[in-house]
Amino acid sequence: MSRCDVAVVGAGPYGLSAAAHLRTIKGLEVRVFGEPMSFWSCNMPVGMFLRSNWTATQIACPHGDLTLEAFQAERFRTFGVPVPIEHFIEYGLWYQSHAVPDLDQRRIERIERGANDFRLSTRDGETFESRRVVIAGGIGPFARRPQEFKALPAALVSHTNEHQGFARFAGKRVLVVGSGQSALESAALLHESGAEVEVVGRSLRIHWLQGWASTTLHHRLGKFTRKLLYAPTDVGPAGISQLLARPHLVKLLPRTVQDKLRRRAVRPAGARWLVNRLQDVPITLNCSVVSVAPTGGCVRVKLSNGKETTVDHILLGTGFHIDISKYDFVASNLMQQINRVNGFPILKDGLETSVPGLHILGAPGVYCFGPLLQFVSGTHFASRSLLRRLSQ
Ligand SMILES: Cc1cc2nc3c(=O)[nH]c(=O)nc-3n(C[C@H](O)[C@H](O)[C@H](O)COP(=O)(O)OP(=O)(O)OC[C@H]3O[C@@H](n4cnc5c(N)ncnc54)[C@H](O)[C@@H]3O)c2cc1C
């Protein structure tokens, strides 16, 4: 049976960045698996823009050379913020072609614990052993579907992460549930595709994120103050942003404070550049869906404000609920050995789980290291922390 030192499972921003960093360790044999940037190309809609700013959209690389600027120069692309998704996907693929040209695009079907090492199997039946495994499997399996919609057939309800575009909804009535970025941006794209859209959300108001060009007080204070209040990682509000950019400090805070920070930093919010695009889309807030019932190819919806409506489709912009037991490629007896809290793994330095040699990067790390880990800008911390651990 073949063997390697490290197997990286996942080829999104976290997996690619981790692999690039690990390959700086001389003599370490690193194999990397997964379809590159597949979540971005298959589970997000064409026409989407990234919410994160320019610096926060850079995938961490060990030599500082695989930047958005270098990509633009090499591929003759001109774009700025907000970064269009198609350019970010292209940037990720370009990053992969430089840092991990030998990427193995096969899916890992199973990770088990062998006597000393981990045993991994690919979809087409190859089995090999690895001393360490780095899981960077993303949030795809964690899409949140509230109970009240579970009985509806797939034709009548879907999650935002099931769509690469909304053209098929032209002329249809679509109810978007949620008031975060994903729900609001999907509503804008549906509207622009010719659908009759309505948004319903539980929050009392929409939190519009401040862009750099905003005229709010923080942003009128000038570049220096802005830099003081906002870290380049672009996660969290003024001041708190600087703390969240330091996950090793976040980890030291009392649990209740960490939880509060996480809730505040990733509360549902929409990018400012959506405001105009949603001007003609009715948005009902402080309201939830009470019941749904299929009726003649449509769905009858009762809302908590007493209103009833019939739509052709419900689109759930209800976010993601992290629970690593949904990583179905991890054998159940191995999963049981990972110390977890509410679905999140307990991670040490190097984002190592309670199973020695098994690391989990990306969004599952938010419980221990804060919300930075669910954004591209968290790749800097994650990759360096992993590199330090494996260099010991
Ligand atoms: C609508 C939406 C908009 C977002 N916008 C932003 C934004 O503007 N800025 C930002 O920073 N973040 C944004 N995010 C968050 C974003 O998803 C994460 O920052 C980013 O994708 C995390 O990268 P990742 O590598 O952890 O996961 P992913 O990008 O999801 O990559 C996971 C990879 O793992 C692979 N994989 C999974 N299982 C296996 C397996 N068993 N074998 C082999 N490969 C496997 C997949 O094929 C994929 O390549 C957004 C998320 C959503 C849903």
Over residues 147-169, the pLDDT tens digits come to 999 999 999 999 999 999 999 99
Among all chains, which residue has been given the structure tokens 């400012």?
272
pLDDT of 220 reads 65
Helix 68-75, helix 85-99: angle, nearest 10: 90
Do 70 and 167 lie in a common domain?
no
Residues with CB under 6 A from ligand 1: 9-15, 33-35, 38-40, 44, 50-52, 107-108, 136-140, 161, 182, 329, 362, 374-377
SS3 128: strand
Query: Distance between CA 157 and CA 318 in Å, rounded?
Result: 12
pLDDT of 222 reads 78
Cα 362 to ligand 1 centre (Å):
8
Do 126 and 73 lie in a common domain?
yes
Count up the domains in the chain and report the number: 2
Cα 225 to ligand 1 centre (Å):
32
Do 154 and 300 lie in a common domain?
yes
Query: Distance between CA 341 and CA 376 in Å, rounded?
Result: 24
Side-chain half-sphere CA neighbours of 77 within 13 A: 19
Do 199 and 293 lie in a common domain?
yes
Query: 0.95 exceeded by the pTM?
Result: yes
Query: Distance between CA 82 and CA 271 in Å, rounded?
Result: 10
Quick: pLDDT tens for 166-213: 999 999 999 999 999 999 999 999 999 999 999 999 999 999 986 544
Choose one of 316, 334, 351: the last residue of a domain: 316
Q: Looking at the predicted structure, is the pLDDT value of residue 374 above 50? A: yes
Cα 96 to ligand 1 centre (Å):
14
Query: Cα angle vertex 319, ends 317, 324, to 5°?
Result: 150
Choose one of 316, 342, 371: the last residue of a domain: 316
242-245: long-range pairs with CB below 8 Å, 24+: 244/370, 244/371, 244/372, 245/372
Q: Which residues of 30-47 are buried (b: 16+ CB within 10 A; e: fewer)?
A: bbbbbebbbbbbebbbeb
Containing structural domain, residue 198: 147-207+269-316
pLDDT of 224 reads 83
Quick: pLDDT tens for 346-370: 999 999 999 999 999 999 999 999 9
Query: Distance between CA 177 and CA 192 in Å, rounded?
Result: 18
Cα 115 to ligand 1 centre (Å):
32
Q: Which of 9, 106, 158, 375 to mutate to test the pocket of ligand 1 (most atoms within 8 A of CB)?
A: 375
Closest atom of ligand 1 relative to the 14 alpha carbon: 25
Q: Looking at the predicted structure, is the pLDDT value of residue 33 above 70? A: yes
